């Protein structure tokens, strides 16, 4: 087994790290001020400028096929880059990406939706979650009824990431109630000017999801993404493809936080000596390091399985569960090490504390990941004791 990166991969990682440290991290004080004043963390124009600067360096469409102008670095390098980007809480992402299921579109749909999204000219969102169907995606109630050459959509979606900013949505609706999820759910590409509305949902962190409302929204037949009735399969592709990216960013945040705790423990004195000399502090640091390292390799293994074209859902669930729990334990220890200062808004720890708590809920709660892992083992879909199989 060779766990080393190639010289090219190391160069990519180091270049991304340098970009984040040089161009993005210096924005952190401004981002905190803006967010605490109720505004966006980073000005949209500034965000676009940073993206273009990154594009000039070759960082555009990290995991986008080369035929669409992307770098096509693959899942493993995408995960490594996400770890580097997780080292800052500035809401910056490299441009040139589109949801993986948009590639299922026909030539006309790619021209109208996929390519403009990759170029940053359009913004999309993925809408399957409903007020009564969160983790139970098979229980969606939004309906689409055929009326001539159009489909009429009625229903509500909730906790939709990017729903307030998107100008089109990939929405999943029941088109054949008798068939259920397998054959009765269809994905539609729906432009905002077709009539759907969004409302922001306030949260304890900086994640700003939306509630989407569809009231007699008419969508042409040509806007079906993929095939009629096979939308649930597309949804599972979307959910399964990038789940390992969630713990990837959590690893970067946790490493940055632990570094802050180590530095602080060396200079903070109590009873005549640095608190780093106390075993209680040392154990918190050691436990955090072990958990971060284990999450890192679980995440990279899941990304590797995706890269090999394997069914990575089991590995991704393991990585997501462990990574989310790990990040929450680490940020809690880091706040404890900083004591009262960690609890204040003078430091960004409380900001990370609120942000990382989301990881145990969205994209599948801890409980859903445990359910998935257990079912895979109980039903024989996954086996214990395997290595490289």
User: Is 143 within 8 Å of 174 (Cβ atoms)?
Assistant: yes
Q: What does each C-alpha distance from 39 to 42, 73, 171, 256 come to in angstroms?
A: 9, 34, 28, 25
Locate tokens 């991969």: which residue? 9
**Residue tagged active-site, from 84, 305, 355, 363:** 363
Q: Which residues contact 192 (CB under 8 A, 6 or more apart)?
A: 166, 167, 168, 169, 198
171 pairs with which residues across the strands?
127, 188
d(CA 113, CA 126): 13
Q: Which residues contact 137 (CB under 8 A, 6 or more apart)?
A: 128, 129, 181, 232, 235, 239
φ and ψ at residue 342, rounded to 5 degrees: -65, -25
CB atoms within 10 A of CB 163: 24
d(CA 299, CA 359): 14
| Chain centroid, CA 333 distance in Å | 24
Q: Rounded to 5 degrees, what angle do the CA atoms 10, 14, 17 make?
A: 140
3-state secondary structure string, 276-320? HHCHHHHHHHHHHHHHHHHHHHHHHHHHHHHHCCCCCHHHHHHHH
DSSP string for residues in 179-244: TTHHHHEEEEEEEGGGS-EEEE---SSS---EEEEEEEEEEEGGGEESSTTBHHHHHHHHHHHSTT
- Whether 355 is a known active-site residue: answer no
d(CA 213, CA 36): 29
Q: What is the CA radius of gyration of the chain?
A: 22
Residues with catalytic function:
363
């Amino acid at each position: 087994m060779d766990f080393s990166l190639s010289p090219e991969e190391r160069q990519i990682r180091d270049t991304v790290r340098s970009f984040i440290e040089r161009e993005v991290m210096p924005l952190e004080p401004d981002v905190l001020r803006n967010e605490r004043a109720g505004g966006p963390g980073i000005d949209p124009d500034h965000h676009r400028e940073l993206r273009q600067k990154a594009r000039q360096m070759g960082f555009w469409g990290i995991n986008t096929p080369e035929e669409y102008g992307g770098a096509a670095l693959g899942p493993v390098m995408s995960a490594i880059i996400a770890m580097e980007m997780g080292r800052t809480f500035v809401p910056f992402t490299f441009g040139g990406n589109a949801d993986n299921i948009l590639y299922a579109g026909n030539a006309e749909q790619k021209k109208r939706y996929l390519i403009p999204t990759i170029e940053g000219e359009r913004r999309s969102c993925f809408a399957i979650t409903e007020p009564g169907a969160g983790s139970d995606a098979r229980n969606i109630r939004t309906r689409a009824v055929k009326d001539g050459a159009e489909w009429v959509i009625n229903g509500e979606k909730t906790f939709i990431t990017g729903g307030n900013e998107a100008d089109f949505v990939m929405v999943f609706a029941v088109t054949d109630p008798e068939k259920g999820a397998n054959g009765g759910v269809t994905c539609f590409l729906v432009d905002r000017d077709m009539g759907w509305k969004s409302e922001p949902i306030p949260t304890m962190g900086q994640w700003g999801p939306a509630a989407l409302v569809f009231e007699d929204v008419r969508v042409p037949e040509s806007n079906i993404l993929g095939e009629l009735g096979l939308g649930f399969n597309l949804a599972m592709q979307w959910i399964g493809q990038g789940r390992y990216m969630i713990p990837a960013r959590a690893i970067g945040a946790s490493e940055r936080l632990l570094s802050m705790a180590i530095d602080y423990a060396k200079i903070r004195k109590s009873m005549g000596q640095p608190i780093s000399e106390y075993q209680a502090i040392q154990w918190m640091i050691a436990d955090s390091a072990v958990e971060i390292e284990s999450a890192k390799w679980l995440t990279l293994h899941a990304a590797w399985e995706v890269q090999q074209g394997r069914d990575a859902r089991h590995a991704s669930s393991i990585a997501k569960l462990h990574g989310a729990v790990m990040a929450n334990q680490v940020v809690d220890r880091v706040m404890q090490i900083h004591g009262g200062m960690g609890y204040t808004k003078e430091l960004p720890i409380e900001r990370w504390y609120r942000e990382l708590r989301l990881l145990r809920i969205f994209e599948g709660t801890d409980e859903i990941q445990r359910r998935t892992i257990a079912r895979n083992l109980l039903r024989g879909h996954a086996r214990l004791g395997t290595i490289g199989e």
